[in-house]
Structure 1
Amino acid sequence: MDTTPVIIEVALNGTTTRDRNPHVPLSREELIEEGLACIEAGATIVHCHIADMRVPAAEAAAEYRATFEPWVAADPDVLVLPTLGWGQNMAEKLGHLEYLAEGGLQRLGFIDPGSMILGKAGANGLPDPNSFVYVNSFADMEVAIEQCNRLGLGMHFAIFEPGFLRNVLSYWRFGQLTPGSFVKFYFGGPGGYFAIGDSVSFGLPPTEKALDAYLEMLELVGCDLPWFAAVVGGDLIESPIPQLTLERGGHLRVGHEDYAGDRPRPNHVLVAEVAALAADMGRPAATSSQAVEILGLPARRMASA
């Protein structure tokens, strides 16, 4: 069995409300406190959404920076990860990364490499007509890839559907991806993306066959990108995914953005659960410096004089 330390990502909030999880951090102060607790528990990638994402790029970057800097002060190698910003096109939606990359604070870029229906169940259990189509075109992907190559950022690719992975592999074959890039398999739990109901979800379910299908796609083309697994709209630790991922050499994501189980508890407890399972299976939680090395990220860019 692989004994490589496991990288643990935590997604602190996303669109989760207090009604869904009373422990979810929402304010800047809460995000800072919970992020620090998660780092202490073993997380080396910390992802969050700011309270108001519909602001100009410079304003969004300032809020993210105020949240991220205490985490980086506590652990200089911790990897911080915002989400899409607001704008009319992908360049505008990723504009805050331009500011965050200054001085080396931001080391990861991202794009969701495909399109899908972000659906939820209506009152009758059927797909809600108010669900919407989430669109990321090849042109959008090229904007993100160009930005990451220019800024020296590793690329985070969220794989909601098998077609998303095919898109990443198309760019990978032609050497377009940056050092430090990785893919993350999002398995659709019963509650789906919005954790509403148990009849409308997305992608592949959190099963062994589903995970192996993704791994076969990598193997067929000889792709050795690092990979993560997460369960969105379910309970990761109650599924077979963490054990299978640890056995097969992957890494894991937990957190309130994804969690929809019946045991609501703080993010750092979710991280600690995964870290304990990994240690029991001979794959201790990676330190932040180990995560940087495992991903193959380039050295941190320093501010120019």
Structure 2
Amino acid sequence: MSEAVPNMDAPLTESTRNNVRWITLDREKQRNPLSLQMLHSLIDALERAGDDPAVRAIVIAANGPVFSAGHDLREMSKSDGESRESQVQRMREILDTCSRMMLGIVNSPKAIIACVQGTATAAGCQLVSACDLAIAADSAKFCTPGVNMGGFCTTPLVGIGRNVHRKHAMALALTGDAFSAEDAVRFGLINECVPGDLLVDRTTELAERIAAKSAQGIRHGKADFYRQVDMPIEDAFAYANEAMVRAMTSPDAEEGKAAFFEKRTPNWGDA
């Protein structure tokens, strides 16, 4: 394992194994909240991993029984003597920063996998939905409980609603109930659930398998998928056809085809 440059003040840890960067939320006692500090740390860590040619896949994990409890309610609440305008301004800063972090996951040139060991709540559930893939322990729970506190998990539904059928998304949001990992697989929020003691091994196997693929192919393919997926189907085919031509005539694709016919392992180019 090679360690990234440590930052003792950061609320997360980073390590790299076999071309996979593990970014681990590390505020267990606070239930790994997506505080402003955590959000800025995630943005920085994701950008550095995305720019590092030695990193071919990224895993977002967490320590403790909770994957992430979402936003820090203390940061979102009005303090004594504070004006409503000040509170609104702070909340907008938090939500704008959170949106930037979530979009950073979607727009990252690397495949990003959520390794969910525990409860993912509200924006923590949104974090799972933003990742390209997600594997959870079979004991993990998923919920968007804003309705239980007189609000509504509107921003988490942006990501969740693009992963699951709208009726499943609304069931999460309207009830505020915690749903099981098995339900999350059925909804399409996560790819699979496994026994907790197998979670890290299964995530490692998947991440390292992806890391062995062409970085060029994944970088362009991920971007093309997210561009076309919300287009009208006619536009999507037109866009995807041109993207496919670019992909299949790229240097890595030519190497991949040659390796297939020569029955050897491809020698991919640099990221």
TM-score by length of 1: 0.34
Q: Which has the higher Rg, Structure 1 or Structure 2?
A: 2
* More RCO (CA 8 Å, sep 6+): 1
Flag the structure with higher helix content: 2
TM-score by length of 2: 0.37
